[in-house]
Amino acid sequence: MNTFIDNQNWRYATKKFDASKKISTEDLNTLKEAIRLSSSSYGLQPYKIVIIENPELRAKIKTAAWGQSQIVDASHLIIFANMTTVTETEIDNYLTNISITREIPLESMAGYSDFMKSKILTLSSESSNIWASKQTYLAMGNLLNAAAELKIDVTPMEGFVPAQVNEILGLDKLNLNASLIATLGYRHSEDATQHYKKVRKSNEELFLTL
């Protein structure tokens, strides 16, 4: 656990990446697996993880992300895109996956299926979009923690215009919405931010025991 805390103190939101340094395929696969194994409500994972390799697309996204250089300089760019509407088909596919993975009859989950559908399918479009978007933050957290273990820098970003990113990538046509951006790579030696002391609330200010 001490190593985990040390890694959390090491990580920070990198402002300047070293564009010459690339994440290895092995490490990238580890990070992808960390994202895949993230917790989510019901285990449904109502999102897609879009990895942007095309430099032209990254340049366009930079414009939609307030011109932040990390978008094009980082080794990898990931878009967390939540489903704008979770459909009955999506839930049925998930339950089928459970049935196959755990080798249990699909019929045995009829009650769980009805419960999920009664909670999810009755949400308004706005509420469904917000709920699904929240799930991407859990996946981002797993990415941040796994990357810190590998000493890979990640900058989580909300500083972009989702509608513009959706248009650039055609996400809206896929029932998806850009919720979060993560840039991954290695900090540049000239990034002064890495030397800043981490600022967080004290235990007394943050925690409330009742």
Q: How many domains does the chain have?
A: 1
- The Cα 131–Cα 58 span in angstroms is 27
What integer is the mean pLDDT of 71-83? 98
188 has a pLDDT exceeding 70: yes
201 has a pLDDT exceeding 90: yes
In-domain check, residue 102:
no
In-domain check, residue 134:
yes
- The Cα 112–Cα 47 span in angstroms is 21
- The pTM (predicted TM-score) of the whole model is 0.95
In-domain check, residue 51:
yes
In-domain check, residue 97:
no
- DSSP reduced 3-state for 104: coil
- The Cα 206–Cα 112 span in angstroms is 37
pLDDT tens-digit map of 19-47: 999 999 999 999 999 999 999 999 999 99
In-domain check, residue 173:
yes
CATH of the domain at 163: 3.40.109.10
pLDDT at site 2: 82
In-domain check, residue 163:
yes
pLDDT at site 1: 60
Residue % of the chain over a pLDDT of 70: 100
In-domain check, residue 30:
yes
pLDDT tens-digit map of 161-186: 999 999 999 999 999 999 999 999 99
pLDDT at site 62: 98
Selection from 62, 66, 78, 81 nearest residue 23 by Cα: 78
In-domain check, residue 93:
no
| Paired strand residues for 177 | 82
- The Cα 160–Cα 167 span in angstroms is 13
- Domain range enclosing 138: 7-86+123-191
| Dihedral over alpha carbons 30, 35, 39, 42 (to 10 degrees) | -130
